[in-house]
A and B are shown apart, each in its own frame.
Chain A
Amino acid sequence: MFGYLVRRVLSALVVIVCVVFVVSAISKLVPGDIVDMMEAGNPGMTEQDKEVLREQLGVNKPIFETFTSYLVGIFKGDLGNSTRLRSSAAVLIGERVPATLELALTALFFALVIALPLGIICALKQGTVVDYFGTILSVLGVAVPGFLVGVILILVFSVELQWLPSTGYKGSVVVAAWNALLAWDFSILWDRLRYILMPAASLAFAVVAINVRLIRSTMLEVIRQDYLQFARAKGVPERTVYLRHAFRNALIPTVTIVGLQLGNLLGGTYIIENVFAWPGIGRLAVQSIFWRDYPLIQANVLIAACLFVFLNILVDVTYRLIDPRIRYARR
């Protein structure tokens, strides 16, 4: 396990160094003069500002020097300054990472809580109305993009029913949940939860659909196993057969897959955050592209990449711990 972890971290470091190289080379890859391009998105730059920027982005330096100076900057915690927001890019993104993570994790939670029972029921009641519903859902999940789900949800729950706000963010739900528990006043929690419900649901939709399909087929596979027949033959009640024997064994592959979907969910936040004006890194990324704010784009890509790589390691290690069959199998 330890050896695996070391290998995994080392290869992750290589990936990160490659990302740093690509990111630092942006100033060379942009067609034309990058600083003149940035002026278009940030009017009112003086010649002096431009010189500072050229220095910061390493426009006039050879590509390898640009790379090393960016790398040195990373170790000092300096990812350059946003030209638009006029403050440290690292700080700006650091402030927004929690909102993005919270959205992705809430979506993951939804995906599990909805897909698990639905998938199991579909498998147990194969060929019934519930099963058809599950099939339709899984087709829709692949075919309807998240942003459209978001717009439909806004139409139903904000415009028609007026239950939930269509955009906005009032702070962390986790913090609110803690405060609500302390004060035993759940209106604090609801006050923030209502903002995350629709974004998380639109983000989770595709994943729910995939999972229902997956859990259904895993469960069907487990149901056909001999040990279930044996349990029945022993006289174990049907309920116990399903809950103790079938469900437990179907759970492991499901948890594995769901963990791996965290990456997809994080990718989805880049779009969903823009539907609901959620103040995360995805929204900032799209804004910074419009602003042609290259230092901010660089920092955004770099931090997002680190986040993905780190989460992937975390998920890999976790499922190795959960499932002994994977732990002992060599890749």
Chain B
Amino acid sequence: MTTIETTESLDPPVSAAQRFLSELIRSPKGLTGFVLIVLVLLVALLAPLLAPHDPAQQVLGARFQPPAFAEDGEWSRVLGGDNLGRDIFSRVLYGSQTSIMVALLVVFNAMITGSILGAISGYFGGIVDAAIMRVADFQLSFPFILVALLLLAIVGPGFWTMVFALSVALWVSFARLVRGETLKIRELEYIQAAKSIGVGHAAIIFGHVIPNVLPTIIVLATLDIAAVVLYEAAISFLGLGTQPPTPSWGMMISEGRNYLYENYWMALGPGIAIMTTSIAINLFGDFLRDTYDPRQERL
């Protein structure tokens, strides 16, 4: 009896949360990303409290008002005013809501759809697998932007079309990932055992297959969130995504682009916001991958 006990781990049991925190504190990269993400989330949540002005309110006197650090700037409008006299700082704060909402919606849709289709594809194989994977291959032979533009052309530009188009563009990576893992897991003995005692297909997929792939899915989802923040900005920059008056960082840069020669600050605030958010999520995603999923190498 005693020999069996000594072979067990001598360390006290560590919960997942404890492990996460101890790893996070040791990684400057992960910690920086995490703190910045929390900051962006807080800004998005508290935007109505933090914003000094209404983001859509047009004040004639504040048109092209320089930012506080420039000549003639005022601290009441830290980042200055835009071409319509709206407060850029308030718009940047509210823009975080748009960015984060789109990112979460899209990644959630793509993750759920992609994972389920991937699991079904890998688990059942045969015609189902072939059908799902051919659609995926077909879509992958084109860059996502072409797929997204086609959908935007069909449904018409707008916020929800953009969410839909990006979800459609992103499900493939989840499907392929989960399918590959499912193919491996399917052959393992405990799945065979589960099958032999009559556990249903759905119970096996959701009870055994998905939980095993979950860490990899979460890493991919985190990195995808960063990508979607950029895609949202790009599509809104083209004017095909978020529509005015809802503030979006991409749209603000696009508006600022027309006034760069005289009023560079219109693009400054949203530009810094995009970069900060995206760098933060990427750093955190890298940390997650290094910690939970060292097999995956990112290109």
Q: Which A residues lie at the B interface, using CB under 8 A?
A: 15, 18, 22, 26, 29-31, 37, 139-140, 142-148, 151-152, 154-155, 158-159, 166, 210, 214, 257, 263-264, 266-268, 270-271, 274-275, 285-286, 288-290, 292, 294, 297, 301, 304-305, 308-309, 312
- B238 close to A15 (CB less than 8 A): no
Asked whether A159 and B261 contact (CB < 8 A) given A147-B234, A267-B143, A267-B144, the answer is yes
- B146 close to A143 (CB less than 8 A): no
Q: Which of B143, B145, B233, B271 contacts A152 (CB 8 A)?
A: B271
- A289 close to B141 (CB less than 8 A): no
B21 within 8 A of A: no
Nearest B residue to A30, CB-CB: B154
Q: A142-B282, A166-B260, A274-B238 are in contact. List 5 more A-B contacts (CB 8 A).
A: A22-B150, A140-B275, A151-B271, A155-B264, A289-B157
Q: Least Cβ distance of A273 to chain B in Å?
A: 10
Query: In the complex, what residues of A have CB within 8 A of residue B153's CB?
Result: 26, 288-289, 294, 297, 301
- A151 close to B253 (CB less than 8 A): yes
Chain B 258-296 per-residue mask, 1 if CB under 8 angstroms from chain A, else 0: 001100100100010011001100110000000000000
Query: In the complex, what residues of B have CB within 8 A of residue A154's CB?
Result: 257, 260
Closest 6 pairs between A and B when the two form their complex, measured CB to CB: A267-B143, A143-B278, A143-B279, A145-B230, A297-B153, A267-B145
Nearest A residue to B227, CB-CB: A142
Q: Which of A143, A267, A294, A308 contacts B282 (CB 8 A)?
A: A143
B75 within 8 A of A: no
Tell me, in angstroms, the Cα distance from A301 to B148 when the chains sit together: 11
- B240 close to A286 (CB less than 8 A): yes
B49 within 8 A of A: no
- B256 close to A145 (CB less than 8 A): no
Q: Which B residues lie at the A interface, using CB under 8 A?
A: 138, 141-146, 149-150, 152-157, 226, 230, 233-234, 237-240, 250, 253-254, 256-257, 260-261, 264, 267, 271, 274-275, 278-279, 282-283, 299
Tell me, in angstroms, the Cα distance from A194 to B292 when the chains sit together: 47
Query: In the complex, what residues of B have CB within 8 A of residue A159's CB?
Result: 260-261, 264
Q: Least Cβ distance of B298 to chain A in Å?
A: 9
Tell me, in angstroms, the Cα distance from A242 to B156 when the chains sit together: 55
Q: Which of B138, B150, B234, B240 contacts A301 (CB 8 A)?
A: B150
Tell me, in angstroms, the Cα distance from A286 to B153 when the chains sit together: 9
Q: Least Cβ distance of A138 to chain B in Å?
A: 10
Q: Least Cβ distance of A223 to chain B in Å?
A: 18
Tell me, in angstroms, the Cα distance from A275 to B261 when the chains sit together: 15
Tell me, in angstroms, the Cα distance from A305 to B149 when the chains sit together: 12
- B146 close to A271 (CB less than 8 A): no
Q: Which of B138, B144, B264 contacts A18 (CB 8 A)?
A: B138
- B278 close to A144 (CB less than 8 A): yes
- B260 close to A155 (CB less than 8 A): yes
- A29 close to B299 (CB less than 8 A): no
Query: In the complex, what residues of A have CB within 8 A of residue B240's CB?
Result: 286, 289
Asked whether A31 and B275 contact (CB < 8 A) given A267-B145, A267-B146, the answer is no
Q: Which of B143, B154, B275, B299 contacts A144 (CB 8 A)?
A: B275
Query: In the complex, what residues of A have CB within 8 A of residue B279's CB?
Result: 139-140, 143
Q: Which of B149, B250, B253, B282 contacts A289 (CB 8 A)?
A: B149
Q: Least Cβ distance of A279 to chain B in Å?
A: 16
**Which of A30, A148, A151, A267 has the most C-beta atoms of chain B within 10 angstroms of its own C-beta?**
A148
